[in-house]
């Protein structure tokens, strides 16, 4: 066979991509041969086959995706050079197979609408929650599978829950989805999770806000931190669990703390969360390896929109104050943060100094000082 033609299709959003992929695979004789995401929700899908089929596939994809979102690029290369197959899209696994009578998606801006939406979906119908993932620009989605009726009922319930908590970006139900759509699904999460009274979510932009809210919550109420999860677009969700009244109290406090330190994007409480939802979102983060030493009376966090500003600030803090370096973290969307440790006065002095330096050499976003950090909190923090 002659070199197959290559179809390139780039659009914004997972729902738009899934709708396009299902339509083109159903209508034309082409094969998925690559995919790649570059942030901000921009996803590229590549297909190959005979030229006329690929041409038709790209047209079908454009028509289908346009109903759900923005199309960026739709191009056909009739005789592609081998070199283009050695680009990042070819590293994606396109062999995963899906077996389901129906596939549904709900896509939102951020976690605050997404997690309650997932819970509403699995409670409304007999569906399996496949998983969730982020694709940049704070766009996140969940996928469910089941019978057509169940997936339709689940997605309807999921849309309603999402829209009442925040921004619903898009949703989709695909009856008899093509098996090759398995390649587009989010990774599967652990299947089991213990039952809890309630799951709380506090979402902030940046790492400092999420750490501050986590600290506020564990100190305010008897809750356990389930994880601190990145959602792209700078979004970070702090997930807690405990009994309903306690989680409600904690989430209010967490939202207040996050807003004081940075930007709070929302918070929500899910009463009696489905075990599938807990397993999907609130699986335990690994414990930090060199767990905190703890003679330290305080930890400080400084966050910037600039590696240069942060590095310079940390260098200044370590040179001029009696603090130790405690790690760094980046949450995407131009944001990066560092942690320092020491006694309260030293950490406060360091953060004051670091703030000035960071402002001179980049953009300072947030700072926060935690006195007597809890060991449990520290073990859940992902920066080390």
Chain residues that interact with another protein, rule: CB under 8 A? 6, 8-10, 36, 38-40, 42, 44, 46, 72-75, 77, 80-81, 83-84, 86-89, 136, 207, 230, 232, 305-312, 314-315, 318-319, 325, 327-336, 361-362, 382-384
Could you give the CA distance from residue 129 to residue 165 in angstroms, rounded to a whole number?
A: 20
286-289 — which CB contacts under 8 Å span 24+ positions?
287/379, 287/380, 288/378, 288/379, 288/380, 288/381, 288/382, 288/384, 289/384
Contacts of 335 (CB under 8 A, 6+ apart): 205, 206, 207, 234, 303, 304, 305, 365
> DSSP labels for 263-294?
EEEEEEEEES--HHHHHHH-PPPPPPTT----
Give min distance, CB of 169 to another protein, in A.
Answer: 17
CA 98-284-205 angle, to 5 degrees, is 90
> DSSP labels for 90-150?
GGS--------SEEEEEEEESHHHHHHHHHHHHHHSS-EEEEEEE-STTEEEEEEEE-HHH
CA proximity to 19, closest of 186, 178, 210, 187: 178
Q: Which is nearer to another protein, 41 or 373 (CB)?
A: 41
Task: Kindly list the distances between the CA atom of residue 103 and the CA atoms of 144, 304, 347, 362, in Å, as whole numbers in the listed order.
Answer: 6, 40, 51, 45
Q: Which is nearer to another protein, 189 or 328 (CB)?
A: 328
Give min distance, CB of 238 to another protein, in A.
Answer: 15
Give min distance, CB of 126 to another protein, in A.
Answer: 35
Q: Which is nearer to another protein, 44 or 238 (CB)?
A: 44
Q: Which is nearer to another protein, 169 or 241 (CB)?
A: 169
The token pair that represents 186 in the structure block: 């989010």
Q: Which is nearer to another protein, 245 or 315 (CB)?
A: 315
Give min distance, CB of 19 to another protein, in A.
Answer: 17
With beta carbons less than 8 A apart as the criterion, state whether 87 and 8 touch. no
Q: Which is nearer to another protein, 89 or 141 (CB)?
A: 89
On the 0-12 / 13-18 / 19+ scale of CB atoms within 10 A, 280 is buried
Contacts of 101 (CB under 8 A, 6+ apart): 146, 147, 148, 175, 176
Q: Which is nearer to another protein, 6 or 298 (CB)?
A: 6
The token pair that represents 51 in the structure block: 């030229």
Give min distance, CB of 193 to another protein, in A.
Answer: 24
Give min distance, CB of 260 to another protein, in A.
Answer: 23
Q: Which is nearer to another protein, 89 or 241 (CB)?
A: 89
Integer Rg of the chain from CA: 23
Give min distance, CB of 62 to another protein, in A.
Answer: 12
Give min distance, CB of 111 to another protein, in A.
Answer: 15
Give min distance, CB of 346 to another protein, in A.
Answer: 15
Q: Which is nearer to another protein, 196 or 366 (CB)?
A: 366
Give min distance, CB of 383 to another protein, in A.
Answer: 6
- For residue 204, the cross-strand partners are 236, 264
- Residue 147's φ and ψ, nearest 5 degrees, are -75, 165
Q: Which is nearer to another protein, 176 or 359 (CB)?
A: 359
């Amino acid at each position: 066979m002659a070199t197959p033609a290559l179809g390139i299709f780039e659009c914004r959003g997972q729902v738009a991509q899934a709708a396009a992929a299902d339509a083109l695979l159903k209508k034309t004789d082409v094969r998925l041969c690559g995919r790649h995401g570059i942030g901000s929700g921009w996803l590229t899908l590549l297909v190959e086959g005979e030229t006329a089929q690929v041409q038709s596939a790209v047209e079908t994809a454009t028509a289908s995706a346009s109903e759900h979102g923005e199309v960026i690029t739709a191009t056909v290369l009739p005789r592609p050079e081998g070199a283009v197959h050695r680009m990042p899209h070819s590293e994606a696994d396109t062999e995963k197979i899906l077996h389901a009578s129906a596939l549904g998606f709900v896509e939102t801006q951020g976690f605050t609408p997404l997690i309650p939406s997932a819970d509403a979906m699995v409670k409304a119908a007999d569906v399996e929650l496949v998983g969730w993932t982020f694709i940049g620009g704070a766009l996140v989605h969940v996928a469910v599978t089941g019978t057509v009726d169940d997936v339709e009922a689940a997605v309807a319930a999921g849309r309603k829950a999402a829209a009442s908590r925040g921004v619903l970006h898009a949703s989709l139900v695909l009856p008899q989805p093509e098996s090759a759509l398995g390649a587009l699904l989010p990774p599967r999460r652990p299947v089991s999770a213990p039952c809890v009274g309630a799951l709380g979510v506090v979402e902030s932009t940046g790492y400092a806000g999420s750490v501050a809210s986590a600290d506020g919550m564990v100190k305010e109420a008897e809750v356990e931190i389930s994880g601190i999860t990145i959602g792209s677009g700078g979004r970070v969700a702090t997930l807690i669990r405990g009994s309903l009244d306690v989680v409600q109290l904690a989430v209010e406090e967490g939202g207040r703390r996050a807003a004081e330190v940075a930007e709070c994007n929302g918070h929500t409480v899910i009463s009696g969360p489905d075990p599938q939802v807990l397993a999907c979102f609130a699986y335990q983060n690994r414990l930090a390896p060199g767990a905190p030493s703890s003679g330290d009376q305080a930890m400080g966090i400084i966050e910037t929109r600039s590696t240069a500003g942060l590095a310079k600030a940390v260098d200044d803090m370590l040179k001029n104050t009696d603090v130790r370096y405690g790690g760094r973290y980046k949450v995407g969307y131009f944001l990066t943060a560092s942690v320092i440790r020491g006694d309260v006065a030293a950490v406060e002095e360091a953060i004051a100094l670091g703030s000035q330096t960071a402002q001179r050499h980049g953009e300072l976003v947030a700072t926060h000082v935690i006195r007597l950090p809890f060991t449990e909190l520290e073990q859940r923090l992902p920066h080390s």
